[in-house]
Structure 1
Amino acid sequence: MQLDWIDDILAVIDTGSLAQAAERRFLTQSAFTRRVRTIEEKLGTRLFDRSRKPVVALPGVRALEPELREMSARLRRLQLNLRVSDSQAGAAFTLVCQHAITATISPWVVRELTARGEASVRVRSGNRDECLMMVLSGEVEFAMAYEAPDERRQTLVRGLEAQALGADLLVPVAAPELAAQEFTGPKLTGTNGHLPFIGYPPDVFLGRVFGQYIVPRLAETTVLSLKAETALTLAACEYVLSGIGVAWLPLTLVARHLAAGRLVRLEGLPEQELNITLTRLAGGQHAHHDALWRDLAAHPDFPGGLPG
């Protein structure tokens, strides 16, 4: 199936007219009609009911319309990527970041990489497990993700190597109004001992960190009251800013909100340090990437959430 064929079919579906579809495709009506007939001959099936006005796609074509549109978009992206790849002669560097890091630290990484001569940097985003799988499959050169301080040797997948870049801190924050209303005592357990909070799904990294490292350190009188759950730290941050509840968020993400007074850091609730690691295929694959690997690890200005 050629991209031109898909676009011709979609033009008829969108306009309901061979004449208007021909105009959209910058062809005369007779030339466009011949093209449609050629497509039908190649495929061995009719595509449209021409006896009706407007022209109607046959049921089988209508059923495949979403797939045709997706295929058209994918082929166009592929064309663009091939052009970019050709123009840059393989200079593009691909990095995947855990979602929260994409929003906070990846801008610094992109700046550093482009300053070192990378023509372009492609940044992808995913949860931590997805990031590691992209490295293993060769889709990306490096992955940047969080890990708890004591877990690296337990969880690092065989065939990968990782190095620490810096550290961040998972801190409990709330909107000032909520903090003033709910947290009046030193134990910060909230009204009637209930702590309204924004949670993470238990099967994602921050959900596991919350369950393993935060919950056991809460006061015994604290009753967690889940108000919303999301795997995206950016969404959790917006929920906290809206006064919905407390959330444990990376300090790199909320630092500007704390400085501006839009959020309050809740002293007395547990916090958790997180390492920020860079992961790649073990042994290195390219001398240039080896140099980037060393430079990023040794950079003195890495923007982590902890001093030093």
Structure 2
Amino acid sequence: MDLDWLKDFLVLAEQKNFSRAAEARNVTQPAFSRRIRALEDWVGTPLFLRGGQGAALTPAGSYFQPLAADLARDLEQARRGARAAGDQETTDLSIAATHAISFTFFPGWIRRHMSFEALGGLSLSSDSLQACEQIMLSGEAHFLLCHYHADAPMRLDPDRYPSLQVGRDVLIPLCAPGADGSPLWPMPGRDTKPIRHLAYSQASGLGRILAAHPAGRRQTADMETVITSHLAATLMTMARQGQGVAWLPRTLAEDELSRGRLIRAGSDDFDIAIEIRLFRSRERRNRAADDLWSNLLANQI
């Protein structure tokens, strides 16, 4: 029995839909379905009723759900404790970071604040915010580096995962220029031609911010969503191709803006100021993590 099977089971019990649960677990739906089937084979009875309306727990599944939650939590706690005990004196550093941050902000930031000669090793896990939060909750990283806005809730308890602002950014609605240099998809748009929205998926932290911010929520409600992705880089490429408007971090789109391949779709009234924030695990600690945190506290922006 694989611990991931228990995690899959718990997410599917919550989501009640294979497609949404597979996305939340960051795996393909066929692979996710195989893992659920493997768990059912291991238990020896079906745990879900599958139908056109989704997936519902069987009586066996309802009985198994609280036991699986307790078992997954206990196993994760045991792993975190053992890792912390063995990790205390190492100089390795593990950081989870969202994709957009990994490509742009992270390399210069870590070089300014850490001496690579003093590190035993640096591990960077780049993924969606949803996946990075899970990495932190599972005790697999010392830090999470991501975009942040106070209106968008995080899954990390601030008592267990204190945080610091380490940078600033802004989400800007961008699109390709037309032949005359004006926006191909001008905002706020016209009733006769809805603006095409290149949207973030549920797993994306930037999508979470856009959905939670009043200005973003109000504007996107009148737009036609043509694609969803948790990758800002994918949406940027599609915006450059003229497929619609994407709210992109300035740090990611700076080069495209300077080259004129992307331009503002509207005024800066549609911009959303955001933070770049570092979250720390109180439970996963070692000397390298303590040194980085102390350095940041001493040099807060």
Is TM (by shorter chain) over 0.5? Answer: yes
Partner of 1:3: none
CA distance in structure 2 between the partners assigned to 1:259 and 1:211 by the alignment: 28
CA distance in structure 1 between the partners assigned to 2:126 and 2:103 by the alignment: 9
Unaligned runs of 5+ in 1: 1-88, 301-307
Partner of 1:162: 163
Paired residue secondary structure (2:102) = helix
Q: Which amino acid aligns with 2:255?
A: R
CA distance in structure 1 between the partners assigned to 2:294 and 2:202 by the alignment: 34
CA distance in structure 1 between the partners assigned to 2:175 and 2:297 by the alignment: 33
Q: CA deviation at 1:239?
A: 0.8
Q: CA 1:182/1:175 → structure 2, altered by over 3 Å: closer, same or farther?
A: closer
Partner of 1:243: 242
Q: CA deviation at 1:211?
A: 2.2
Please report the TM-score for the alignment, with normalisation by the length of structure 2: 0.60
**Residues 165-214 of structure 1: CA deviation (Å, up to 9, x unaligned):** 12211110111128736456xx5315824111201124532222222224
| Aligned-residue RMSD, C-alpha | 3.0
CA distance in structure 1 between the partners assigned to 2:121 and 2:230 by the alignment: 29
CA distance in structure 2 between the partners assigned to 1:235 and 1:299 by the alignment: 34
Paired residue secondary structure (2:291) = helix
**Identity score, percent:** 24
CA distance in structure 1 between the partners assigned to 2:106 and 2:166 by the alignment: 12
Q: Among residues 165, 179, 182, which one is paired with 1:180 in the alignment? A: 182
Q: Is the 8 A contact 1:164 1:297 kept in 2?
A: no
Q: Is the 8 A contact 2:185 2:244 kept in 1?
A: no
CA distance in structure 2 between the partners assigned to 1:180 and 1:191 by the alignment: 19
- Stretch deviating more after TM superposition (203-212 or 233-242): 203-212
Q: What does 1:63-142 correspond to in 2, within 5 Å?
A: 90-112=90-112, 113-115=114-116, 117-142=118-143
CA distance in structure 2 between the partners assigned to 1:272 and 1:232 by the alignment: 18
Q: Which amino acid aligns with 1:128?
A: L
Paired residue secondary structure (1:188) = coil
Partner of 1:31: none
Q: Which amino acid aligns with 1:255?
A: E
Of the two, which has the highest radius of gyration?
A: 1
Q: CA deviation at 1:105?
A: 1.1
Partner of 2:271: 271
Q: Which amino acid aligns with 2:278?
A: L
Q: 4+ residue runs of structure 1 moved beyond 4 angstroms?
A: 297-300
Q: What does 1:191-230 correspond to in 2, within 5 Å?
A: 192-213=192-213, 214-218=215-219, 223-230=222-229
Paired residue secondary structure (1:194) = coil
Q: Tell me how many residue pairs correspond in the alignment.
A: 208
Q: Is the 8 A contact 2:184 2:242 kept in 1?
A: no
Paired residue secondary structure (1:211) = helix
Q: CA deviation at 1:233?
A: 0.7
CA distance in structure 1 between the partners assigned to 2:242 and 2:203 by the alignment: 25
CA distance in structure 1 between the partners assigned to 2:118 and 2:228 by the alignment: 41
